[in-house]
Amino acid sequence: MLATVILAAGKGKRMKYPERAKVLFKVKGKPMIDYVVSLALTVHSHRIVIVVGYQKQSVIEFITKNFNEFSNNITFAHQDKQLGTGHAVMQTEPLLKDFTGDVLILSGDVPLLSKNTIDKFIAFQKTENFDATLISAYFDDPSGYGRIIRDSNGNFIDIIEQKDSTDEQKKIREINSGIYLIKSDYLFEALKTLKANNAQQEYYLTDVFYYFRNEGLKIGAMPVENNIEITGVNSVEQLSQLENLI
């Protein structure tokens, strides 16, 4: 079984319109969150939990109105204080504590991810029997992204956020897209181990992979074929660039 968590609580400080939730900015005439919820439904998610926070009522109203026929599948978790992606997923535990299966974690501001890529991602985890996986990408300019660390055999072993990385690690071109697939058996136990002892003083969801590795669980990273699919939006300029790329 599959559950999908959609992170949609962010403020989007660089979007220039504070009265609007970031995920409600439109790409080709549709709010970004519309694409992400539609994808979650297309890949047959048994449950969809949307984490809302900044301007949350407008997000809830949009989803309730536009996905009314799926109201039994969609619920909302509330992150009223934004303390990082790990903290956001922590808020879903009451809604998923009885769920057994894989938890797909998506960002509400990454609208172009395809069903084909998610199907491959799910197959990648299943075939390799990974306990937790992420989608990565190779960027010519990886600035601002967490870097994927691999061992001498090419196995994924860690993620280092840009602000916590060394000069040598900053040269790594493989980045973390922020898209994850994690077995529910381990997700919430891993989240309990997170600490905000980093440059941002936030609970990084990426740190769960450190827990998995230390517990002897199997982790993997699958590079995406088309980088545009995992491109997120953090400013109105990036929104415009994304539309031009399309």
Q: What is the pLDDT of residues 187-220, one digit of tens each?
A: 999 999 999 887 778 898 999 999 999 999 999 9
Residue 166 located in a structural domain:
no
Mean pLDDT of 151-163: 92
Say yes or no to pLDDT of 234 above 90. no
**How far is CA 116 from each of CA 50, 120, 122, 229, rounded to the nearest angstrom?**
22, 6, 10, 11
Mean per-residue pLDDT of the chain: 92
Residues 6+ apart with CB under 8 A from 48: 3, 4, 6, 37, 40, 41, 70, 73, 74, 75
Residue 163 located in a structural domain:
no
Number of residues in the chain: 246
Residue 173 located in a structural domain:
no
Tokens for 39, please give them: 């994808």
Residue 219 located in a structural domain:
no
The gap from C-alpha 78 to its chain's centroid, in whole angstroms, comes to: 16
Residues 56, 61, 66, 68, CA torsion sign: positive
Mean pLDDT of 17-27: 84
Measured in Å, how far apart are the chain's first and last C-alpha atoms?
Answer: 32
Domain that holds residue 198: 2-134+178-210+227-237
Residue 32 located in a structural domain:
yes
pTM of the complete model: 0.93
Question: For strand 132-138 and strand 219-223, is the pairing parallel, antiparallel, or unpaired?
Answer: parallel
Long-range contacts of 144-147 (CB under 8 A, 24+ apart): 145/175, 145/176, 146/175, 146/176, 146/206, 147/172, 147/174, 147/175, 147/176
Confidence at residue 15, expressed as pLDDT on a 0 to 100 scale: 60
Tokens for 116, please give them: 């084909």
What percentage of residues in the chain have a pLDDT greater than 90? Answer: 75
Confidence at residue 12, expressed as pLDDT on a 0 to 100 scale: 65
Count of beta carbons in the 10 Å neighbourhood of residue 215:
12
Number of domains in the chain: 1
Q: Could you tell me which residue, 132 or 244, shows the higher pLDDT?
A: 132
Confidence at residue 146, expressed as pLDDT on a 0 to 100 scale: 92
Q: What is the pLDDT of residues 115-124, one digit of tens each?
A: 999 999 999 9
Give the whole-angstrom CA distance, residue 105 versus residue 20. Answer: 23
Residue 77 located in a structural domain:
yes
Residue 193 located in a structural domain:
yes
Count of beta carbons in the 10 Å neighbourhood of residue 140:
6
Confidence at residue 13, expressed as pLDDT on a 0 to 100 scale: 61
Q: Strand, helix or coil at 96? A: helix
Here the CATH number for the domain that contains residue 45 is 3.90.550.10
Mean pLDDT of 218-232: 93
Residue 158 located in a structural domain:
no
- 20 in catalytic set: no
Q: What is the pLDDT of residues 52-96, one digit of tens each?
A: 999 999 999 999 999 999 999 999 999 988 899 999 999 999 999
